[in-house]
Structure 1
């Protein structure tokens, strides 16, 4: 963004203004009394202007609205008069824009050059709008000559609003100052207050960690696969078919069930028993592979 640039309006003749003040001061003094001082110079009262006083014409200036470039001025003119930025009345905006450029051209020709470039662009856009539009090959509407200018104005406005938001954030040494306070520590210890809920959560965390390191004792149980194979054969000798689940005791422990199942697989591997099923999802039956007779 460009540095802040200001429009300036020169006051009326400063010498005439001071003469008027001096005349009013002399008129207000009674006969025989000293004139009333209207100013002080190096601590001495000043009742009459020096004859050789010279004040340049541009000594006193009043700074009006400040703008940061041609786009900023153009956006200001549009928003001030509540114009629709998507449908800018270029005739009115260009006229007001040129009045402002004429003011700054009298005082700062280099500054006015950039504004004149934007003025030429506005006039070009207005002239293109006055010309008859070419018929497009399709039914689409012809491009609006103001489209590029509107796009630039909208982008500039978004950046400007974002800059305002950033500037509103408090800044050190502008909105506040960091202070340093030296506090003498007391010799008496100050213990922090402990909340009951915090203590309860800390205790629950200790219990949870204690459960993670619990020891599990494994007892050794000697089981013989051969003994279970003999038990299965004895059980099958009394029945022709035995359902698979009936070969296992319901109250048996997991190690016993596992060894019993391994014994059944060993018998099937040695073709001493047959495991049959009539159809899918039907009950599974176990029988001897040979007749006891």
Structure 2
């Protein structure tokens, strides 16, 4: 093969990667880039893992078993291997316990301090069990060195089971949500309260009209508030609403108007009539009080 032909043959494979790089560098549609992206960095799709990415060695370490304390770990080791809690094999349990403590000492020395205290207690119990038992006064043998540890384990297990039972009780905003339902209690329109100033001005208007029709005749007249109350009730029975001023039409002189007004106030006090007003500065109306059947 001639040198020129060999040069052409070697040049052809070099052109293909260059074309492939150009095609890879060409912008792709947004949908295709998003589909091929493994992550997004500052809003931009990341198509391949960076070569200078540093991952700490401890970042991917996983602890499958997490314990709430030394007693929890010790109880887990005993229950997992179906040991009799009243007859704990101290050598085997202590060895497994120390293996776990060695693991957590590497990562969290402060957390391991509490576990080391229990480890010292286990070693002490194991040492006391290896020593010959001494008799105390009265030819009674010394108690089992494991008794105090067994008592603490049983109490902890009872508390732990009780905590599970309490946690199983349904809780608000965790297991259920309290529903709220808004219901309109009444569709009857509620009239605004009558202001005392509006009632006073209406009364002054009635009193002014009564003074225009009064006679200068002095006489003694006995007036009954009860009679005027009955008259007002009869007048209201014939119509649904009566304007405040119309209630005093044809009443007479000022003393009679006063008694008529007092009778109306007595009826309102006894909730036999209602004084209503649709809006501020609107006419005041009087009607019989509503009594549900």
TM-score by length of 2: 0.49
Higher alpha-carbon Rg: 1
The TM-score normalised by the length of structure 1 is 0.49
